[in-house]
Amino acid sequence: MGQTILEKIIQAHSADTVRPGAIVWLDLDIRSARDFGGPNVVKHYQREYGDLPPDPARTFFTFDLCAPACSLKYADNQQLCRDFARRHGLTVFDVDRGVGSHVLIEEGLAAANSTVVGTDSHMNILGAVGSFGQGMGDVDIAFAFRTGRTWFEVPPTVKVTVKGRPHPSASAKDLTLFLLRELGTKALANMAAEFTGPALKGLTLAGRITLCSMVTEMAGIIGFAPEYGPALEKEVRALTGRTYKPFLPDPDADYASLVELDASGLGPQVAAPPSPTQVKEVSALKNVRLDSGFLGSCTNGRTEDFAAAARLLKGRRVKPGFMLKVVPATRRVYDDLLRQGILQALFEAGAIVINPGCGGCAEGHAGLTGKGEVQVSTGNRNFPGKQGQGSTYLAGPEVVAASSLLGVLAGPEDVR
């Protein structure tokens, strides 16, 4: 019997027999912890393993939640991790670097066919480069820091084929929101996914990051988009300095189910509160008045995302009184935005430009809402109370840009 992508990656990292439902011991190539989760990883580690060293070639800290520390508690937590890292010679991608999962991709650490864990539920973003990334809690990660392994139940894989071509105005986020609407939180629950079809094959790395990040919101374990062309190979090589040869599924791989969807003519989409699966056409929500917008997050924080927004915002101003917050995913993205004039265009349009990090998701960075405030965000979650007492609509960068100009939810066609 053939194997799916995830089964191949797991098999390459385990001596156990890999089949769906089997619990195997999995070797972990890269083990990481953030400023969130990290402090407890350190506490557990020191309590359980004392001075025994983690492997410095494979163990990293990535600070992105509250960067630089905006509260005394986070300052303490980060320093606790830094001290531990210094004692054991571990590398810290510190508060200047941005979203940890993205930094691990940029550094070539999360490479195709690798296994990577960290205290980030969107670590499965790494599926975008064919790596098996998993978010885990601080107990798991502390154990992984020391042993380099974890137990894992091999999930079944679902093959999702998307037929048809979306409308040219639709972004990778619109396609992702479409999948959230169609798949909900049941179709991929506790399973891996392979996304195929013409609309997926053409996705850039940024688009793949957007798609794979929100497999978490579909309740899935990880998603891969195995079809790609030479442009993607070149893009990954240029960014990471490593060749790109991800495992492909066997033709006779065994899938738990086959799902076929049709995205023909798909336009801009928006996920309305209270959950990322409440997806509607932007045209159905045009009267929603907005106070603020957010561009960034691990889901839409690449250069290409800001460039798409800047194309609509350049030479214009956001609606008076509207707050548009911009948070690049990483320092490298920030550098690109500076060099390409994108930051200038966003700044002149009235955007508030903030340093890289996990904005839009949690207390600690930009993108919070006050009671009664309504925001549109390129982030990935809009559960009640998550970003504050306001309400959050999720959309792609073009929708956020167009909405920022008009002060109501709007699609790119409304401002062209």
120 lies in the binding site for another protein (CB under 8 A): yes
Q: Which region, judged by CB under 8 A, interacts with another protein, from 169-177, 194-202, 246-254, 358-366?
A: 358-366
Q: Let me know if 350 is exposed, middle or buried by CB neighbors in 10 A (0-12, 13-18, 19+).
A: middle
373 lies in the binding site for another protein (CB under 8 A): no
Using CB under 8 A, which residues numbered 100 to 119 contact another protein? 119
Our CB check for another protein shows the closer of 161 and 275 to be 275
Contact between 159 and 32 under an 8 Å Cβ cutoff? The reply is: no
Q: CA-to-CA distance for 401 and 310, rounded, in angstroms? A: 8
Binding residue for another protein, selected from 229, 237, 339, 383, defined by CB under 8 A: 383
Q: Which region, judged by CB under 8 A, interacts with another protein, from 90-98, 125-133, 316-324, 384-392?
A: 384-392
Min CB(381)–another protein separation in Å = 7
Using CB under 8 A, which residues numbered 329 to 348 contact another protein? none
* Greatest Cα pair distance in the chain: 61
DSSP structural state of residue 237: H
Angle (deg, nearest 10), helices 72-88 and 38-49: 40
Min CB(169)–another protein separation in Å = 30
Q: Which region, judged by CB under 8 A, interacts with another protein, from 137-145, 172-180, 241-249, 283-291?
A: 137-145
Binding residue for another protein, selected from 77, 171, 213, 269, defined by CB under 8 A: 77
Q: CA-to-CA distance for 80 and 43, rounded, in angstroms? A: 9
Binding residue for another protein, selected from 271, 361, 395, 410, defined by CB under 8 A: 361
Q: Which region, judged by CB under 8 A, interacts with another protein, from 139-147, 223-231, 295-303, 404-412?
A: 139-147
- Give the binding-site size for another protein (rule: CB under 8 A): 54
Q: Which of 151, 158, 213, 189 is nearest to 5 (CA)?
A: 158
185 lies in the binding site for another protein (CB under 8 A): yes
Using CB under 8 A, which residues numbered 188 to 207 contact another protein? 189-190
279 lies in the binding site for another protein (CB under 8 A): no
Q: CA-to-CA distance for 394 and 141, rounded, in angstroms? A: 30
Min CB(387)–another protein separation in Å = 9
Scored b (16 or more CB within 10 A) or e, 172-203 reads: bbbbbbbbbbbbbeebbeebbbbbbbebbebb
367 lies in the binding site for another protein (CB under 8 A): no
Using CB under 8 A, which residues numbered 215 to 234 contact another protein? 216-217, 219, 221
Q: CB within 8 A of 11, min separation 6: which ones?
A: 3, 18
- Count other C-beta atoms under 10 Å from residue 151's C-beta: 11
147 lies in the binding site for another protein (CB under 8 A): yes
364 lies in the binding site for another protein (CB under 8 A): yes
Query: Which two structure tokens, joined as six digits, stand for 147?
Result: 């042993």
Q: Which region, judged by CB under 8 A, interacts with another protein, from 73-81, 253-261, 301-309, 328-336?
A: 73-81
235 lies in the binding site for another protein (CB under 8 A): no
Our CB check for another protein shows the closer of 134 and 171 to be 134
Q: CA-to-CA distance for 161 and 148, rounded, in angstroms? A: 35
Contact between 296 and 395 under an 8 Å Cβ cutoff? The reply is: no
- In the sheet where 192-196 sits, what is the strand order? 222-224, 192-196, 157-163, 257-262
Q: Are strands 149-153 and 23-27 parallel, antiparallel or unpaired?
A: antiparallel
- Contact residues for another protein, defined by CB under 8 A: 14-15, 23, 25-27, 36-37, 39-40, 43-44, 48, 65-66, 71, 73-74, 77, 119-121, 123, 134-140, 142-143, 147, 149, 151, 153, 155, 185, 189-190, 216-217, 219, 221, 275, 361-364, 381, 383-386
